[in-house]
Amino acid sequence: DAGITQSPRYKITETGRQVTLMCHQTWSHSYMFWYRQDLGHGLRLIYYSAAADITDKGEVPDGYVVSRSKTENFPLTLESATRSQTSVYFCASSFLGERAQPQHFGDGTRLSIL
């Protein structure tokens, strides 16, 4: 099916471990985004990418690494997970980045770090 898919949907890991969250979209959208959603903070932008091999920081990038070797994939890596990174992570994409373009979100990855 066309759309944006995230995997895994649920993940439990331990402090200090490396974990990678996957995001795949089939629309050939140029822009892709990673957000995290926490109670009391709403959604906050972690990283975004305007095209393959172009990435940039959002509001809360510390502790995260991204890459984008192909247009359709935008993985998010927590190199050494901490409890404060327990959250729901959403990937999104849009055709362009300008303000009239809607973003389309995946169903999220629920990450728990023990």
Partner 1 sequence: DAKTTQPNSMESNEEEPVHLPCNHSTISGTDYIHWYRQLPSQGPEYVIHGLTSNVNNRMASLAIAEDRKSSTLILHRATLRDAAVYYCILRDVSSSNTGKLIFGQGTTLQVKP
Q: Which residues bind partner 1 (CB under 8 A)?
A: 31, 33, 35, 42-43, 45, 48, 50, 56, 58-59, 90, 92, 94, 97-100, 102-108
CB of 94 to partner 1, least distance (A): 7
**41/83 with CB nearer partner 1:** 41
**Alpha-carbon span 25 to 29, nearest angstrom:** 8
Burial class (CB in 10 A: 0-12, 13-18, 19+), 98: exposed
**33/64 with CB nearer partner 1:** 33
**17/57 with CB nearer partner 1:** 57
CB of 4 to partner 1, least distance (A): 8
**Alpha-carbon span 49 to 109, nearest angstrom:** 19
**Alpha-carbon span 50 to 29, nearest angstrom:** 9
DSSP character at residue 59: S
3-state class percentages of the chain: helix first, strand second, coil last, to nearest 5: 5, 50, 45
CB of 80 to partner 1, least distance (A): 26
CB of 16 to partner 1, least distance (A): 28
